[in-house]
């Protein structure tokens, strides 16, 4: 019976994918590549073909790529019905129907949720509306920001020094624009990589001419009579004049449309099992609803089966492929999504990469190179195991450390490594902020063992 | 053991034409240690790949000397030149490689290689035209050797007419990379010749480099000696050992890739035909060749600086390690149907250029040269066939390739 259903589904079933971006596209391609011959519908609220986001904060801001030409290459002919420019507004899993903003309803036999995240807006709406206050998530955001940077503002102000904010600051400096960065924590990238590495990132910024303000929050954005942003007020009572303000306070998961659907969906994302099947709010796994990409939170074997949310490009691709595979195969052929978290960024000419889950680490050891030279590999330890690694301009060693994480290699690292410096002989406190305090942009979040999501962990930033 | 050790079989000249059965047997013991104080031989794809990315595995010539390698460590430190970055660990390796890269590729010289495409095609055309009315050629002497040598000379800024002179120095240096040469009775002779050759080559290049320091031109020697980036400048000695490295690497590897390439295509004529019709296929053909017949068969110059465990075997600190790239390239654990030459395979990957921080510096150049060479040969030779199969091979087990490759054909197009 079940086997027959899968055969039927593969032949003439209806699969609907909500969210037509990286995860949605890669899933659609995998479905076709693996022989799905039925009806495929992609629903996306952006009016564009799927495009790539990482360039938006890098080459696009430098004018090296056009914001409207970062389309994702199609790796496979997918023959799908595209419903672009229309949002899904509701889900009825019993009737197997997705409601659309234009009043339409689309029926499915299996559904993939890939609605990703959006940029967290400035919390005061009247200030957020000021001309010159920008977010950066979509190609339109990037086009707008690029245009404003091109126009040569007197000063750009970046609120939040996570990866996205730091990349924007880097682009500004490359364009020789004065830029101020405000960060609530003691340094940039603290949420993602901890205070020790954050200090390196701080030096990198200040040496490149960024006016970096740490341990401060933004209290207000001030506009001029014409409704343009004019100045930024900080918690240390200082006021900085700026005509472009980039709000870079992390992200919000696009799960509102699932309210009332009965799925385990909320501000932390949509919970799913290792096979990408969504949980309902009671913690029972569903059969016909799958999840992939930034919106998903799924348990990871390497990290004690805690639910993990990742805002990583590579994760979106891998999870989409696994979800698609599992959607159209028999139970025994299903695969778990066991992707090793991996993230890259580049700023101020430095390539930063990490594997594993740095925020899980309590201690840190620089195993190769030196923090002062900003060329190093460092590992994070938690309960005597290596759980993550980060490299600055030392990418080629990362594979080794990934393997160390996979095999649960012991921490501290006792064995000798090439280019080990005296500073790397002893573990130090990695200096992550208290996890109960809100930070923005850790890019990877551990969120306990419960598939249900009734409690809020991400508080709106109180800047 | 009833028969000769695997190490001997690898270096045994009798196996040169087809070493792959030996590698197949070798892979049955993926971590093989045959002699006390001898090297550990690693032959599986995944293990080699992992060790090439392992920060406990050193390329430093000094570590190798300490590990008691009597044949290999001599090449570099002698002859008065410091070791090149091929034989150094970070941070020195990284610094020198970065500076060298500033003279070679992006971001500083993004077009240096690509802009030679036209010149390369001209050289190839000239060499093929040079076959004249002959209906049989030796591909090695008449094409596969002169082509990359001319290219690397132009790239560096070394006068091509001096080639016969420095060839007499390059040959003994390359021979000394063969793990077999040091073992014979004439061990010390070999070493002495290699040391002298290196010194001579260094002195010859020193003159050119000094010229370029005074009067820079658009070539790599000028860039190397005049570079003043964030990593500072190379010392004169560093410039020389880097130039020697580039000159030798540019000489002795691509020749084998081109020759192995024609040999393999003539053994698989359907691909020769397809290449003639579609030069674009040369990209996949070259990648598959680097897997199937890699010019660098093994990397015999690593030591581990701590105990490491590979497949349950502990390799003790200070041991020498041979990474047998050519065996890993045909590892059935990694490749489907590994013994088949198949440029259409979906996931051509290989260890032909190594991997990790020492992965081949010249790869973009070698790829482009071989793509052009093979597609032009395929296009222009009418009904080519092998005169002798297998062809005679060079002695060298590491840099393996035919000494001559006789090709008969009906005419030139
Ligand atoms: C500026 C920037 C730089 C980045 N840089 C890096 C980097 O260097 N490295 C890295 O690993 N990652 C980076 N990322 C993250 C990476 O881009 C994401 O991980 C990836 O885009 C996730 O893909 P996704 O398909 O899951 O989600 P998204 O790309 O967020 O796609 C979700 C799609 O669903 C749509 N949608 C939402 N709700 C609905 C609805 N109700 N109905 C219909 N459609 C809906 C959205 O509009 C969107 O198009 C960056 C992201 C940004 C924004
Ligand atoms: C087909 C041709 C070639 C092959 C198969 C090849 C193969 C290799 C391999 C396997 C290594 C790694 C050695 C190790 O790990 O110890 C290497 C390194 C190197 N190659 Fe090549 N090579 C080729 C052509 C070239 C050319 C044309 C050049 C020069 C322009 C070159 C320059 C180098 C250099 C400088 C290194 C040392 C890199 C380092 O230590 O960081 N190679 N090559």
How many domains does chain B divide into?
1
Q: Do B55 and A417 touch (CB under 8 A)?
A: yes
Give yes or no for residue A376 having a pLDDT over 60. yes
Tell me how far the alpha carbon of residue B361 lies from the centroid of ligand 2, in angstroms: 5
Ligand 1 in reach of A109 Cβ (< 6 A): no
Q: Supply the pLDDT for residue B186.
A: 60
Least confident of A80-84, A285-289, A382-386, A432-436: A432-436
DSSP letter at A68? T
pLDDT bin (cut points 50, 70, 90) of residue B81 is confident
Mean pLDDT of B217-238: 92
Judge whether residue A99 has pLDDT over 90.
yes
In Å, how far is A350's CA from the nearest CA of chain B? 13
Task: Please say if the pLDDT value at position B64 is more than 60.
Answer: yes
Mean pLDDT computed over B124-152: 96
Domains of chain A plus CATH, in order, are 2-118+252-333 (3.50.50.60), 125-249 (3.50.50.60), 342-432 (3.30.390.30)
CB contact under 8 A, A369 and B306: no
B366 lines ligand 2 (CB under 6 A): yes
Closest CA to B77 of B226, B227, B66: B66
Chain A partners within 8 Å of B308 (Cβ): 415
User: Across the interface, which of A367, A415, A418 has its CB nearest the CB of B89?
Assistant: A418
CATH number of the domain where residue B395 is located: 1.10.630.10
Strand partners, B32: B41
Range of the domain at B157: 3-412
Cα–Cα dist A366/B164, whole Å: 50
Residue B360 CB–ligand 2 contact under 6 Å: yes
The span from the CA of A35 to the CA of A37, in Å, is 6
pLDDT band at B76; cut points 50, 70, 90: very low
> How many Cα atoms sit within 13 Å of A131 on the Cβ side?
7
Cα–Cα dist A392/A188, whole Å: 15
pLDDT value at residue B68:
59
B353 CB under 6 A from ligand 2?
yes
Give the nearest partner residue to B55 out of A373, A375, A418, using CB atoms.
Answer: A418
pLDDT at A218: 97
Interface test with A, best of B45, B53, B54, B55 (most A CBs within 10 A): B55
Please give the model's pTM, rounded to 2 decimal places.
0.89
Using one digit for the tens of pLDDT, what is the confidence trace for A410-453? 999 999 999 999 999 999 999 998 765 555 455 666 677 777 65
* pLDDT (tens digit per residue) in B339-380: 999 999 988 899 999 999 999 999 999 999 999 999 999 999
Kindly give the number of the ligand 1 atom that is closest to the alpha carbon of A292: 26
More confident position, A436 or A7:
A7
- Identify the pLDDT of residue B141: 95
Q: Collapsing DSSP states into helix, strand and coil, what is residue B141?
A: helix
Task: Kindly give the number of the ligand 1 atom that is closest to the alpha carbon of A43.
Answer: 43
Question: What pLDDT score does A435 carry?
Answer: 66
CA distance A376 to A283: 42
Q: What is the spatial distance between Cα A145 and Cα A132, in angstroms, rounded to a whole number? A: 9
pLDDT for the residue B78: 52
Residue A409 has pLDDT above 50, yes or no: yes
CB contact under 8 A, B90 and A415: no
Mean pLDDT for the stretch of residues A170-183: 97
CA distance B92 to chain A (A): 9
Interface of B with A in 354-383 (CB under 8 A): 356-357, 359
What's the pLDDT score for residue B239?
A: 95
A369 sits in the region (left: phi over 0; alpha: psi -120 to 50; else beta) called: left
Q: Write out pLDDT tens, residues A311-354.
A: 999 999 999 999 999 999 998 999 999 889 999 999 999 999 99
Question: Does B91 sit behind a cis peptide bond, omega within 30 degrees of 0 on the bond before it?
Answer: yes
pLDDT given at position A438: 52
pLDDT recorded at residue B347: 84
């Amino acid at each position: 019976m079940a086997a027959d259903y899968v055969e039927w589904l593969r032949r003439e079933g209806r699969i609907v994918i909500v969210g037509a971006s990286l995860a949605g596209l890669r899933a659609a391609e995998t479905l076709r590549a693996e022989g799905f011959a039925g009806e495929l519908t992609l629903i996306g609220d952006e009016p564009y073909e799927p495009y790539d986001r990482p360039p938006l904060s890098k080459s696009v801001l430098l004018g090296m790529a056009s914001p409207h030409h970062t389309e994702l290459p199609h790796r496979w002919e997918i023959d799908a019905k595209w419903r672009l420019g229309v949002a899904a507004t509701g889900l009825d899993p019993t009737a197997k129907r997705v409601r659309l903003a234009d009043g339409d309803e689309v029926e499915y036999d299996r559904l993939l949720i890939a609605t990703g995240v959006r940029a967290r807006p400035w919390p005061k709406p009247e200030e957020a509306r000021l001309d010159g206050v920008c977010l950066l998530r979509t190609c339109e955001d990037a086009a707008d920001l690029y245009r404003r940077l091109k126009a040569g503002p007197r000063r750009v102000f970046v609120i939040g020094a996570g990866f996205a904010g730091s990349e924007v600051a880097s682009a500004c400096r490359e364009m020789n624009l004065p830029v101020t960065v405000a960060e609530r924590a003691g340094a940039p990238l603290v949420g993602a990589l901890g205070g020790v590495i954050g200090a390196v990132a701080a030096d990198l910024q200040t040496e490149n001419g960024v006016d970096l303000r740490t341990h401060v929050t933004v209290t207000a954005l001030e506009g001029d009579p014409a409704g343009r942003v004019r100045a930024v007020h900080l918690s240390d009572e200082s006021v900085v004049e700026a005509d472009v303000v980039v709000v870079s306070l992390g992200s919000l998961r696009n799960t509102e449309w699932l309210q009332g659907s009965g799925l385990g969906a909320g501000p932390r994302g949509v919970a799913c099992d290792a096979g990408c099947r969504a949980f309902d709010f009671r913690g029972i796994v569903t059969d016909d609803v799958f999840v992939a990409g930034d919106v998903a939170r799924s348990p990871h074997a390497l990290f004690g089966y805690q639910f993990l949310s990742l805002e990583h490009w590579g994760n979106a691709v891998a999870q989409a492929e696994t979800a698609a595979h599992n959607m159209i195969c028999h139970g025994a052929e299903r695969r778990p999504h066991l992707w090793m978290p991996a993230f890259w960024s580049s700023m101020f000419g430095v390539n930063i990469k990490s594997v594993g889950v740095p925020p899980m680490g309590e201690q840190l050891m620089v195993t190769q190179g030196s923090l002062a030279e900003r060329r190093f590999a460092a590992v994070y330890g938690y309960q005597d195991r290596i759980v993550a690694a980060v490299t600055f301009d030392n990418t080629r060693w990362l594979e080794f450390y990934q393997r160390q994480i996979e095999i649960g290699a012991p921490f501290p690292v006792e064995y000798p490594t090439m280019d080990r410096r005296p500073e790397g002989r002893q573990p130090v406190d990695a200096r992550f902020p208290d996890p109960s305090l809100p930070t923005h942009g850790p890019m990877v979040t551990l969120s306990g063992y419960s598939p249900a999501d009734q409690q809020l962990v991400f508080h709106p930033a109180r800047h | 053991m009833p028969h000769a050790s695997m190490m001997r079989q690898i270096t045994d000249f009798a196996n040169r034409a087809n070493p792959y059965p030996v590698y197949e047997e070798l892979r049955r013991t993926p971590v093989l240690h045959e002699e006390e104080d001898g090297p550990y031989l690693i032959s599986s794809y995944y293990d080699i790949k992992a060790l090439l990315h392992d920060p406990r595995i050193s390329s430093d010539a000094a570590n190798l000397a300490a590990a008691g390698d009597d044949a290999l460590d001599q090449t570099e430190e002698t002859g008065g030149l410091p070791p090149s970055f091929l034989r150094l660990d970070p941070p020195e390796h990284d610094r020198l490689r970065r500076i060298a890269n500033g003279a070679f590729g992006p971001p500083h010289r993004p077009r240096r290689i690509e802009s030679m495409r036209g010149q390369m095609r001209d050289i190839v055309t000239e060499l093929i035209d040079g076959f004249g009315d002959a209906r049989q050629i030796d591909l090695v002497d008449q094409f596969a050797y002169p082509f990359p040598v001319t290219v690397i000379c132009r790239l560096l800024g070394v006068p091509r007419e001096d080639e016969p002179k420095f060839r007499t120095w390059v040959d003994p240096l390359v021979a000394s990379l063969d793990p077999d040469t040091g073992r014979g009775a004439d061990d010390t002779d070999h070493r002495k010749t290699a040391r002298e050759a290196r010194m001579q080559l260094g002195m010859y290049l020193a003159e050119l480099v000094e010229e370029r320091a005074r009067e820079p031109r658009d070539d790599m020697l000028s860039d190397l000696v005049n570079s003043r980036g964030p990593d500072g400048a190379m010392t004169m000695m560093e410039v020389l050992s880097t130039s020697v490295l580039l000159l030798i690497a540019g000489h002795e590897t691509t020749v084998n890739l081109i020759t192995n390439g024609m040999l393999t295509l003539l053994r698989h004529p359907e691909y020769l035909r397809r290449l003639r019709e579609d030069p674009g296929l040369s990209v996949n053909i070259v990648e598959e060749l680097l897997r199937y017949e890699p010019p660098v068969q093994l990397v015999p110059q690593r030591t581990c600086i701590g105990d490491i465990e590979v497949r349950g075997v502990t390799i003790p600190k200070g041991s020498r390690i041979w990474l047998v790239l050519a065996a890993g390239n045909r590892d059935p654990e990694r490749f489907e149907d590994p013994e088949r030459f198949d440029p259409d395979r979906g996931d051509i990957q290989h260890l032909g250029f190594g991997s990790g921080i020492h992965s081949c510096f010249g790869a973009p150049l070698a790829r482009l040269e071989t793509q052009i060479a093979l597609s032009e040969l395929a296009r222009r030779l009418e009904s080519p066939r092998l005169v002798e199969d297998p062809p005679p091979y060079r002695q060298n087990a590491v840099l393996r390739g035919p000494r001559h490759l006789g090709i008969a054909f009906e005419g030139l197009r």
